[in-house]
Amino acid sequence: MKKWLKRLSPGFLAILFCLISIFALMTMLHMQGNARVINYTGIVRGATQQLVKQEMNSFPNDMLLAHLDGIVSELSTGEGENDLIVLPDKTYQALIQQMQQEWSELKVEIGRVREGQSSRQLYELSESYFDLANRAVSAAERYSEMCVTHSIGVLLCLNGGFIILFILLRVSESRQKKAKMALDLAENASRAKSEFLSRISHEIRTPMNGITGMTAIARRFVDDPEKMTDCLNKIDLSASYLLSLLNDVLDMSKIESGKIQLDEQPFDLTELLNRIQGMFWQKAEDGGVILSMRCEELSVPQVIGDNLRISQVLINLVSNAMKFTPPGGSVTLEARQTAADEKTVSLEFTVTDTGIGISEAFQQRIFDPFEQAQPATARQYGGTGLGLAISSSFVKLMGGTITVHSKPGEGTQFVVSLTLRRSFAGTAAGPQTGKDGTVCDLTGVRILLAEDNAINAEIATLLLEDVGARVDHAGNGKATVDLFSVSPAGTFSAILMDVQMPVMDGLKATLAIRALNHPDAGRIPIIGLSANAFQEDMKKAREHGMNAYLAKPLDPTRLYQTLEQVMIRE
């Protein structure tokens, strides 16, 4: 059916239309011929009566006689001066033959009457001839009616077929159009993705070069602690950049597959803004940019919302503003309360800079993924063109809006409007709210580390041993369960459990430990470690009995803070 539909072309429909027209024309001509035959048969019927009447009253009419003679013969042979056709109907033909025969007899009788003989026989013959002509007219009419019915049927079928084919053609055309559009979309998406891949691989290569280059330099200066520290700092910088890049790509793929979920918790707005200013203070000073923050009329500092996502949006806006503002310029982050009722508070965050600005045309596409003002932007300023697409998706997910106002050469302003619920409780205590900069001391503490990757295990062990802890290492979930089950009560203060491991994964191992008949099975703190830092992963970890969850690569401060919060200390 589909193939057949595909072959259906407008040409085919045009041929069908011509056929219908030719058939209709032929039918009309045929009907015209039939009408003439009916008409002339009627003329023969009436005129014969007229002739007989005249002949009986001694008014011979040779002209009429000759005229009727010609018509009667033309009706059966189709040859004559009146353009008559031979009606292809057997009943009519039989009647015409009979009429022709009786017409000859009538002519003989007319001759006799003219010679002065009785007209009675002529009269009787004319009566029977009239009846015969009557039947012939009826037969011609019946035939003509049959032709009309037949033609209407055929025309209806042809027109119905034409309409059906026309509809099928339109359906197939619209399908083809849709398929073409889908193809175009897929091609565009794939083009954007491949452009993105080439951009991202360039972006990855830059910090990778930094890491490998600095590692090579560090190897040459193992005896020079100052040079070594400098190399390590640069490696750290490149690695953090690489990590943020990876997070952006992960966020974008989560957004595209609709898997982003908000984690709404009470948080302090002023604290969030201070944190952001704290993050950029040094950068602003290094770049000669004046960074200021204004916080107006915030009657409700405690709100409920996705603290992390809101920070991510504002950090991206401030980071862009700093990136695109040359030395001597200024960047301002402003938070304003625009409305508040008993339950909600509407906020407006504005990030204004005096940087290079954005053209009117690019402002239309600025929130689309992978878009950058110029191909040269990536070379000059770096970035992937994902930050604003991610930010605008988060803002939309939170039910807010994000807008841009800008003039090239003068500066840019991004405005984020959000309505958040008021919080009446204090800020929720999360692992990240611990005391910053606390020097952690884990002397005498024994920690069970479940990690299959040797380098990751070495990093975690070093970090823990650095603050005095003793580490027992297991290479998979099963080994961890075995080690824990034979340990005397109180041996371990916590378990660091990688989620993805061979033999038995971290989630299953946690379930197994919690189900053990061991005095510490229920209370031993288990901290999940995973590269998947999404909300649903953390939720899953909690559901499987983990007490906390840390994203890899491990951030030492957060590791120590989390351990301090959850650890059992006898």
Q: Residues interacting with ligand ADP, by CB under 6 A?
A: 316, 320-321, 324, 353, 355-358, 366, 372-373, 377, 383-389, 412
Q: Smallest distance, Å, CB 230 to ligand ADP? A: 27
Q: Smallest distance, Å, CB 267 to ligand ADP? A: 24
Q: Smallest distance, Å, CB 248 to ligand ADP? A: 8
Q: Smallest distance, Å, CB 185 to ligand ADP? A: 22
Tokens in use for 303? 């709100």
- Residue 88 or 328: the one with the smaller Cβ distance to ligand ADP is 328
- Residue 114 or 365: the one with the smaller Cβ distance to ligand ADP is 365
Grouping H, G, I as helix, E, B as strand and the rest as coil, residue 136 is: helix
Cα gap 536→507, rounded to integer Å: 13
Cα gap 238→251, rounded to integer Å: 20
Other CB atoms within 10 A of residue 233 CB = 11
Q: Smallest distance, Å, CB 319 to ligand ADP? A: 8
- Residue 204 or 511: the one with the smaller Cβ distance to ligand ADP is 204
- Residue 238 or 562: the one with the smaller Cβ distance to ligand ADP is 238
- Residue 302 or 372: the one with the smaller Cβ distance to ligand ADP is 372
- Residue 235 or 356: the one with the smaller Cβ distance to ligand ADP is 356
- Residue 387 or 475: the one with the smaller Cβ distance to ligand ADP is 387
Q: Smallest distance, Å, CB 308 to ligand ADP? A: 18
SS (H, E, C) 391-451: HHHHHHHCCCEEEEEEECCCEEEEEEEEEEEECCCCCCCCHHHCCCCCCCCCCCCEEEEEC
Q: Smallest distance, Å, CB 402 to ligand ADP? A: 11
DSSP designation for 288: T
DSSP lists the bridge partners of residue 494 as 447
Burial of 140-177, coded b for 16+ CB within 10 Å and e otherwise, reads bbebbeebeeebeeeeeebeeeeeeeeeebeebeeeee
Q: Smallest distance, Å, CB 385 to ligand ADP? A: 4
Q: Which of 383, 384, 380, 389 is nearest to 197 (CA)?
A: 384
Tokens in use for 525? 């703190």
- Residue 144 or 412: the one with the smaller Cβ distance to ligand ADP is 412
- Residue 288 or 490: the one with the smaller Cβ distance to ligand ADP is 288
Q: Smallest distance, Å, CB 363 to ligand ADP? A: 9
- Residue 305 or 383: the one with the smaller Cβ distance to ligand ADP is 383
Q: Smallest distance, Å, CB 340 to ligand ADP? A: 29
* Separation in Å, CA 503 to CA 471, 479, 481, 484, 543: 21, 9, 12, 16, 21
> Residues 477, 512: contact at Cβ < 8 Å?
yes
Q: Smallest distance, Å, CB 398 to ligand ADP? A: 18
Q: Smallest distance, Å, CB 321 to ligand ADP? A: 5
- Residue 139 or 245: the one with the smaller Cβ distance to ligand ADP is 245
> Residues 342, 400: contact at Cβ < 8 Å?
no
DSSP designation for 515: T
Rounded to the nearest 5°, which phi and psi values hold at 356? Answer: -75, -20
Give me the residue whose beta carbon is nearest to ligand ADP.
Answer: 383
- Residue 172 or 377: the one with the smaller Cβ distance to ligand ADP is 377
Q: Which of 524, 523, 533, 521 is nearest to 558 (CA)?
A: 533
Grouping H, G, I as helix, E, B as strand and the rest as coil, residue 339 is: strand
> Residues 495, 524: contact at Cβ < 8 Å?
yes
Helix, strand, coil % (nearest 5) of the chain? 60, 15, 25
- Residue 84 or 398: the one with the smaller Cβ distance to ligand ADP is 398
Q: Smallest distance, Å, CB 269 to ligand ADP? A: 23
Taking CB atoms within 8 Å and a gap of at least 24, the contacts of 548-557 are 548/431, 550/431, 552/456, 553/239, 553/243, 553/459, 554/459, 554/460, 554/463, 554/529, 556/463, 557/436, 557/437
Q: Smallest distance, Å, CB 235 to ligand ADP? A: 22
* Cα-only R_g, the chain: 50
> Residues 243, 211: contact at Cβ < 8 Å?
no
- Residue 358 or 469: the one with the smaller Cβ distance to ligand ADP is 358
Q: Which of 55, 68, 66, 50 is nearest to 120 (CA)?
A: 55
> Residues 483, 474: contact at Cβ < 8 Å?
yes
Q: Which of 353, 322, 325, 351 is nearest to 336 (CA)?
A: 351
Burial of 294 (0-12, 13-18, 19+ CB in 10 A): exposed
